[in-house]
Chains A and B, each alone.
Chain A
């Protein structure tokens, strides 16, 4: 950690009551892909407290601009938006210089993936992925188009709400997180068995990005704000256990 003089301690216990359990039968694929035995609780060792680091040399200049990073002969079709926010930990400290990656369908709900066969067309100017590093204050932003809703084979008539997949690293491998960002006001959110894998109503609300008019660019793009919270960590103030634990 660069923002504290104290030797860092282990991450706070993940609160599994706010996290989706492995087995959530309404999301059918989870049934055969969920462990049946309990996890073994493991106090953090150096293997969990450390994790990979990334730098600007890993990225290209357009990597966070989905309007341009796959443009062939023009801009993609769709509602132009900015997605921005901060990566914080549970102590409300910014998580600086960490890698944020996103992927999404195009404005019609079609993914650029060889396994997606939905009849809505591919957009020739839209790839659907981006990445960036948070700045020293934990800020990130992307420019993209708002993704469309998307049908999937779960129930006969299941549609994913508009969503953007988000992957974040943090400073230690125990903070590794993948989630999905939803859009304020979408009536599909309450109907989605993937959203509803999260057992806590407030935790679901925190996956929904509000419209952020203050960050919109007039005559150009609307904006949505999505803050991401990673696990905090203990200081070693009251902790006299040996180093390396």
Chain B
């Protein structure tokens, strides 16, 4: 036997279940408990850039909307900077910009909406630039391990064409599943877990 590799192994994921709101969005479960809610304001009041509203639905393989889904958003600010010490420009981020939020679908309709600012372009591998995008993490009953995807913006045509992540997707028509569509009120980003319109998910 060779020497053992003494790494620990990552804890296994389990579904968030139907009552995920109790822990992560208790107001929606039907009670108030914490003095500070977290995750309600992604950009904060002082954020620069274009204010946008993103709406959508998560659909299952039968085309039915998920009414118990929770999505977390992680994004850069309008200048393409993440508020995290490993972003070399982190100290330029506006005060109060967390870049992160939690969104739940409506229990009756399955529709979710959130407000934020449109992120800027972000450095990618080597000399590339990543097109503006929102990083999304999706959990729900029936989802055993959180699904990672990205929402890009359909009106960033040139940046999207040069994006190193979109170009990893072999079938060009599948890239379209990651484009948030411009609407009168902002953007629409529907997520299809399964089937003909299946959204691209990433193993990050």
Please report A residues at the B interface, Cβ cutoff 8 Å: 1, 8, 11, 14-16, 18-22, 24, 27, 29-37, 39-54, 57-60, 63, 69-70, 88-92, 101-103, 111-116, 127-129, 131, 165, 167, 171-174, 176-180, 194-195, 197-198, 200, 202-204, 206-207, 228-232, 241-242, 244-245
B153: Cβ under 8 A from any A Cβ? no
Contacts known (A103-B23, A115-B18); A34 close to B193, Cβ less than 8 A: yes
Count chain B residues whose beta carbon lies closer than 8 angstroms to a beta carbon of A.
81
The residue from B9, B107, B141, B174 contacting A203, defined by CB atoms under 8 A apart:
B9
B30: Cβ under 8 A from any A Cβ? yes
- The reply to whether A32 and B194 form a contact with Cβ atoms under 8 Å apart is yes
CB neighbours (8 Å) of B116 from chain A are none
- The reply to whether A20 and B144 form a contact with Cβ atoms under 8 Å apart is yes
- The reply to whether A194 and B143 form a contact with Cβ atoms under 8 Å apart is no
- The reply to whether A47 and B122 form a contact with Cβ atoms under 8 Å apart is yes
Contacts across chains A and B counted by CB atoms under 8 Å:
273
- The reply to whether B14 and A33 form a contact with Cβ atoms under 8 Å apart is no
B19: Cβ under 8 A from any A Cβ? yes
- A115 closest partner in B (C-beta): B18
| A-B residue pairs, 8 tightest by C-beta | A103-B23, A29-B142, A52-B100, A33-B142, A50-B84, A20-B144, A114-B30, A39-B203
- B61 closest partner in A (C-beta): A32
CB neighbours (8 Å) of B6 from chain A are 92
Contacts known (A50-B84, A102-B23); A204 close to B194, Cβ less than 8 A: no
* Chain A residues touching B, majority SS: loop
- The reply to whether A178 and B14 form a contact with Cβ atoms under 8 Å apart is yes
Contacts known (A90-B8, A101-B23); A244 close to B29, Cβ less than 8 A: no
Q: Which of B43-51, B132-140, B154-162, B181-189 contacts A (4 or more CB under 8 A)?
A: B132-140
CB neighbours (8 Å) of B1 from chain A are none
Kindly state the separation between the CA atoms of A27 and B140 in the bound complex, as whole angstroms: 13
The residue from A20, A36, A232, A241 contacting B13, defined by CB atoms under 8 A apart:
A20
What's the nearest-Cβ distance from chain A to residue B171, in Å?
Answer: 9
- A24 closest partner in B (C-beta): B144
B78: Cβ under 8 A from any A Cβ? no
- A207 closest partner in B (C-beta): B12
B173: Cβ under 8 A from any A Cβ? no
- A116 closest partner in B (C-beta): B19
- The reply to whether B12 and A204 form a contact with Cβ atoms under 8 Å apart is yes
- The reply to whether B130 and A45 form a contact with Cβ atoms under 8 Å apart is yes
B204: Cβ under 8 A from any A Cβ? yes
What's the nearest-Cβ distance from chain B to residue A232, in Å?
Answer: 7
- The reply to whether B141 and A29 form a contact with Cβ atoms under 8 Å apart is yes
Kindly state the separation between the CA atoms of A48 and B26 in the bound complex, as whole angstroms: 27
- The reply to whether A59 and B36 form a contact with Cβ atoms under 8 Å apart is yes
19 contacts between A and B (CB under 8 A): A15-B10, A22-B144, A30-B144, A35-B201, A39-B203, A46-B82, A46-B87, A47-B74, A47-B133, A49-B86, A50-B86, A92-B7, A116-B19, A127-B26, A178-B139, A197-B144, A232-B7, A232-B8, A244-B123
B124-136 Cβ-contact flags toward A at 8 Å (1 or 0): 1111001001010
- The reply to whether B10 and A19 form a contact with Cβ atoms under 8 Å apart is yes
Kindly state the separation between the CA atoms of A204 and B123 in the bound complex, as whole angstroms: 39
Kindly state the separation between the CA atoms of A30 and B62 in the bound complex, as whole angstroms: 12
CB neighbours (8 Å) of B8 from chain A are 88-92, 229, 232
What's the nearest-Cβ distance from chain B to residue A39, in Å?
Answer: 4
What's the nearest-Cβ distance from chain B to residue A58, in Å?
Answer: 5
Kindly state the separation between the CA atoms of A174 and B74 in the bound complex, as whole angstroms: 11
- A174 closest partner in B (C-beta): B204
- A160 closest partner in B (C-beta): B17
Kindly state the separation between the CA atoms of A19 and B147 in the bound complex, as whole angstroms: 13
Kindly state the separation between the CA atoms of A234 and B152 in the bound complex, as whole angstroms: 28
- The reply to whether A63 and B34 form a contact with Cβ atoms under 8 Å apart is yes
Kindly state the separation between the CA atoms of A42 and B150 in the bound complex, as whole angstroms: 12
The residue from A22, A129, A228 contacting B143, defined by CB atoms under 8 A apart:
A22
B55: Cβ under 8 A from any A Cβ? no
- The reply to whether B165 and A244 form a contact with Cβ atoms under 8 Å apart is no
CB neighbours (8 Å) of A19 from chain B are 10, 12-13, 144-145
